[in-house]
Amino acid sequence: MSNDDKSQDDQLSDDQASDDQFSAEEAVAEAMAAADEGAAAMEKMPPASFEMLVSMLFTQGMATLGQVPDPSMEKPPVNKAYAKHYIDTLEMLGEKTKGNLSKEESKMLSEALHALRMAYVTVKAS
């Protein structure tokens, strides 16, 4: 191998190392940008609360019953087993928090359970 061949190989190795370093720097920059976006999104998140928890479980339950439209599908999918799980979870939450909820929280939980149960029966009958 001549000196010219060695210097070309060295140059290629240096170029590849430079590209690898540039790629690593790009990856770090992208990760930091994503972390900043995540932090910004967290600032916009509503505070954790009992009402938010009930709302999330209720929404998921209604979605599993096909009650939340999905623009990508003609008819939303129904999964009664998951719906029952969300109903059971809300029931358990009510039992575990009995006596510790405000009137508003208790009413919200009761209404969410009632609406989910009615939707479940309606979907099950059809």
Helix residue spans in 45-102 (DSSP H):
50-64, 80-97
How large a percentage of the chain has pLDDT more than 90?
Answer: 52
Give CA separation, 44 vs 14, 52, 114, in Å. Answer: 45, 14, 31
- Residues 8-26 have pLDDT tens digits of 555 555 555 555 555 667 7
pLDDT of 117 reads: 97
**Which tokens go with 28?**
């770090």
pTM of this structure: 0.64
Q: Rounded distance, CA 108 to CA 15, Å?
A: 64
- Only one residue has tokens 């209720």, namely 58
- Residues 67-101 have pLDDT tens digits of 988 888 888 889 999 999 999 999 999 999 999 99
What does the DSSP 8-state code read for residue 46? P
Q: Rounded distance, CA 79 to CA 64, Å?
A: 5
